[in-house]
């Protein structure tokens, strides 16, 4: 991951938002916390959350700017492996695996660029997916048969949820952090904006199209695309999704980023499509949370009519129907 993603806002989110939620999940589940994500080579997020983690599954590409190739330097991969090995020797985690390559190519191909087979034998408790390039921009990779294929970030999310569902475990509760760049391109997103079948989402899109500034439109269109798509992915794989308010912030270099937080809860009493207790149009009306002067605040922009939200993530989730029905021991 490029170093410029370690902005003051990113550090605050990692420490004052994500860490509190991981500690909350650890207390509630009273079980091992397995992390799967895309840390930086120096594992900044893992080190921040280390007191709550028991195992790590990490993906590290060699050169973030280019398609994977064996002739690229393994420096970033080796640096991350050394950092995690150090945590093993310090007995701060029990296990780790580092996969060489982009997460989407490794998962869809079934092995990494060093010919290590991808395995997921444990229920993942914390997903940290830092997708800092456009969510709709595919990468090209070589599949098992030597053919050039395209892979989207969403393909990786869908496959990860399939792995999670396949593991025989009655308690499948987890949290997913997903960070994406506000730049976007691709026919999928364009079709979603212009031809969505849900009247509530279409109405929201029509209102957004009236905004005068493109910078006001882009993050809101992308938020709607993400929420609706993730909802379907989670439900199809048998997980109830619970979305927390979205954080919209500026990274180093002026990059505009969206940070999503989704609690996943496996349906214990049935298989198939899961329930959904929230309403996407209502979620779209929520104000963004942002970072100003090293603290969380609600983003107030122009004449956009949006609803206030709380700033304490554990309190937000604790008031949800999902939490009250499935996370509280009866």
CATH code of 264's domain: 3.40.50.150
Q: Is the pLDDT of residue 20 over 80?
A: yes
pLDDT confidence tier of residue 2, bands split at 50, 70 and 90? very low
Pick left, alpha or beta for residue 159 (phi over 0 → left; psi -120 to 50 → alpha; otherwise beta).
alpha
**Per-residue model confidence as pLDDT tens digits over 264-295:** 999 865 566 899 999 999 999 999 999 999 99
Q: Quick one: tokens of 200?
A: 């509530």
Q: 230-244 b/e with 16+ CB inside 10 Å = b? A: bbebbbebbbbbbbb
**Per-residue model confidence as pLDDT tens digits over 157-211:** 988 999 999 888 767 899 999 998 887 666 677 778 777 778 889 888 888 888 8
Total domains in the chain come to 1
Under 8 Å CB-to-CB from 63, ≥6 apart: which residues?
69, 72, 73, 76
Q: Is the distance from CB of 36 to CB of 127 less than 8 angstroms?
A: yes
d(C-alpha 294, C-alpha 56), whole Å: 29
Which range of residues forms the domain containing residue 65? 3-327
Q: Is the pLDDT of residue 72 over 90?
A: no
pLDDT confidence tier of residue 303, bands split at 50, 70 and 90? confident
């Amino acid at each position: 991951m490029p170093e410029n993603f370690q902005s003051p806002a990113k550090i605050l989110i990692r420490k004052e938002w994500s860490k509190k939620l991981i500690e909350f999940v650890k207390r509630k589940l009273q079980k091992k916390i397995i992390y799967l994500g895309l840390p930086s080579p120096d594992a900044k997020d893992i080190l921040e959350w280390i007191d709550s983690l028991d195992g790590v599954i990490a993906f590290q590409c060699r050169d973030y700017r280019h398609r994977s190739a064996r002739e690229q330097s393994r420096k970033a991969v080796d640096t991350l492996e050394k950092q995690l090995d150090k945590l093993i020797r310090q007995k701060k985690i029990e296990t780790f695996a580092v996969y060489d390559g982009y997460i989407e190519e490794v998962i869809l191909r079934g092995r990494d660029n060093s010919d290590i087979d991808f395995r997921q034998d444990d229920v993942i408790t914390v997903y940290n997916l830092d997708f800092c390039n456009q969510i709709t921009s595919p990468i090209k990779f070589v599949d098992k048969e030597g053919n050039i294929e395209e892979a989207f970030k969403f393909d990786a999310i869908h496959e990860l949820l399939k792995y999670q569902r396949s593991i025989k475990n009655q308690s499948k509760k987890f949290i997913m952090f997903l960070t994406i760049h506000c730049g976007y391109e691709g026919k999928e997103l364009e079709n979603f904006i212009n031809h969505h079948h849900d009247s509530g989402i279409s109405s929201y899109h029509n209102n957004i199209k009236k905004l005068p500034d493109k910078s006001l439109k882009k993050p809101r269109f992308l938020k709607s695309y993400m929420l609706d798509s993730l909802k379907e992915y989670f439900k199809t794989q048998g997980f109830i999704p619970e979305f927390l308010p979205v954080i919209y912030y500026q990274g180093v270099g002026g990059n505009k980023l969206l940070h999503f937080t989704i609690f996943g809860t496996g349906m214990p009493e049935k298989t198939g499509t899961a329930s959904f207790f929230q309403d996407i149009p209502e979620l779209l009306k929520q104000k963004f949370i942002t970072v100003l002067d090293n603290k969380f605040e609600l983003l107030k922009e122009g004449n956009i009519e949006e609803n206030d939200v709380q700033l304490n993530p554990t309190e937000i989730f604790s008031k949800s129907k999902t939490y009250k029905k499935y996370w509280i021991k009866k």
